[in-house]
Structure 1
Amino acid sequence: MSGADRPDRIARRIHVKGKVQGVWFRAWTVEQAAELGLDGWVRNRADGSVEAVAAGPADRVEEMIARCRRGSPASRVDSIDVEDTPGVVAQGFTQKPTV
């Protein structure tokens, strides 16, 4: 387990709204997170949005947030909300089931 509470790591919950389902956004997010070496997860939400938690070095998490603002090639991001999320995030970055 990788703690977001370690001094060299942060964790952020990212909530993305727009045309972000059915456009490869989750798989793209997993790919981007792997490229950045982040831990966390991503999932669709029943309201049509996408939610993710990204944990790792602050500069890499901030880069992930910037990439989510731009979105996957076929997506359209209308808004993004970001908040701190405390606790422990499992190693690796995975897709979770829709909630």
Structure 2
Amino acid sequence: VVTEVRRQGYLKALEIDVYMLRRERQPPESHNEGYAESGQGKGWEALRDTVVVCTRCALHQTRTQTVFGVGNPSADWMIIGEAPGQEEDRYGEPFI
């Protein structure tokens, strides 16, 4: 544990004039409410159907189609990338 005197010494040495302690972290808000009713445990097709009508984040505001994924749904590995860009949205496939 850093004492206040030591902290002030570090801040002065780093020429930091203003320092504020962070607030205590709060757990993130859960976005899973209703997920069980929306297709969980019913397979990839049910999940895809849920994604098509999802409006839980801002992606739905500008998409022309969903970018659900491609490949073997029983694969041992799944690669998850960033949010779809313009080309992914155009073709409906990730990693274009």
The TM-score normalised by the length of structure 2 is 0.27
The structure with more strand, counted as a fraction of residues: 1
The TM-score normalised by the length of structure 1 is 0.26
- Between structure 1 and structure 2, the one with the greater Rg is 2
